[in-house]
A = this chain, B = another copy of it.
């Protein structure tokens, strides 16, 4: 690969421009290294707001930011759109679809993807939502099914198009359930005079006995209350057995006819080929030491969702959230600089700043350590935190304008079908191949 570099500085290759990868590159801005970032896409995705892209409240461009533009001023930074085919750890090389690239230090920041737990039918027919293209597919499917419903003559024919089943009651499932309930409550009969909002159903299903599993019981209970109030049917302690595109079956025999199953019931690390199986922990994550170095490899780091730092204090590793990726990315950057300069490294210590989730207009949950509150003030905090975390001034302003205008009009979003979603056009997935998403 032509990387226009013949410098004498150690070469740091970062795979993935998510929360973790970004921080590594930023941290190394003034260090004597050459950075090359590889990503399948030319943009960073602000995943916490993906569900608003799915429901059409925000445009994709507002929650994504060009990686080249972000680092335009950083002299030691280069970027390539590339898919990693394998890592040749013996020769310190990354093999990609656009050529090979050698490294002195490698950072694997490939994140996670949807886990269907091996159920091929569910993988085929349910919609995941972990990337912008997936969120757009989901948006188009929802809108197409509303259009389809409006063509049908009877309630029975419309039902499967107007029924939404969200599997997985983590933040993604909860936020999406809330957004779909708002679509029904405030928008459906305005935009679709031929449909009745009572006929649209939103189900939120989880195997666990509570929504927002990792939250406090107080926060979880409040979320369930908000959802029920908005008309979401919350089904807890329920396991999905199968889905064939027409009907979802649950253990115990209950079934629901639906064309819309959205799957956010689990994630798994995206591990590039070339990393030995004996280094892989539960959830397809790479086992790392306390400075995020891949066990047994001196110059390869793994951070964020794809890393499992198993210690006595964290027997299951850290949660798969942005804060972990950001903090691990920062520290990995620092530690690489230490290693380059022959200085001692610092171990990782997670600073848990708490959790936020929004359910809808004026309704959010804040679990900030011992301080827990729900409702309007939590919702303001949620908006503020997400706005300041977004990359780019323009994106902050545009998202703010969208939120204000959606709040006032209560008729949020543009709801355009720019490209029809066709299931048969989906790329065939091959989880054996490393994908940087």
Of B69, B81, B194, B401, which is within 8 A of A411 by CB? B69
A416 proximity list for chain B (CB < 8 A): 41-43, 60-61, 64, 66
By the criterion CB–CB under 8 Å, are B99 and A151 in contact?
yes
Which chain B residues lie closer than 8 Å to A402 at the CB level?
A: 394, 398
Question: Cβ of B418 and Cβ of A405 under 8 Å apart?
Answer: no
In chain A, residues 261-309, which have Cβ atoms closer than 8 Å to a Cβ of chain B?
none
Chain B nearest CB, measured from A402 CB (Å): 7
List chain B residues, Cβ under 8 A from A41: 416-417
Known contacts A66-B191, A78-B193: A61-B417 contact under CB 8 Å: no
A41 to B414, CA, bound (A): 13
CB distance from A180 to the nearest CB of B (A): 17
CA distance A60 to B132 in the complex (A): 15
A2-B151, A150-B80 as given contacts; A133 in contact with B419, CB under 8 Å = yes
| Residue pair A4, B42 in contact (C-beta under 8 Å) | no
Q: How far is the CA of A42 from the CA of B66 in the complex (A)?
A: 28
* Contact status of A66 and B393, CB under 8 A, knowing A4-B193, A78-B193: no
Determine if A78 and B394 form an interchain contact, defined as CB atoms under 8 angstroms apart. no
Q: Evaluate contact between A143 and B80: CB separation under 8 angstroms.
A: no
Q: A55-89 CB contact bits vs B (8 Å, 1 = yes)?
A: 00001111011101100110000101100000000
A411 / chain B contacts, CB cutoff of 8 Å: 69, 72
Interchain CB contact under 8 A, B152 and A2: yes
Instruction: Identify whether the interface residues of A are mostly helix, strand, loop, or mixed.
Output: mixed
CA distance A247 to B42 in the complex (A): 28
Closest Cβ of chain B to A394, distance in Å, is 4
Tell me which residues across on chain B come within 8 A of A405, comparing CB atoms: 393-394, 397
Distance in angstroms between the alpha carbons of A73 and B419 in the assembled complex? 26
A321 CB–B CB distance under 8 Å: no
Interface centre among A72, A80, A411, by most chain B C-beta atoms within 10 angstroms, is A72
Q: Which of B68, B190, B192 contacts A192 (CB 8 A)?
A: B68
B69-A1 in contact (CB<8A) = no
Residues of B within 8 A of A99 (CB): 151
A residues lining the B interface (CB < 8 Å)? 1-4, 41-43, 59-62, 64-66, 68-69, 72-73, 78, 80-81, 98-99, 132-133, 136, 143, 147, 150-153, 190-194, 393-394, 397-398, 401-402, 405, 409, 411, 414-419
Please list the 9 inter-chain residue pairs (A to B) with the smallest Cβ-Cβ separation, ordered nearest first.
A59-B61, A4-B194, A68-B191, A394-B405, A72-B190, A43-B416, A61-B414, A59-B59, A2-B153
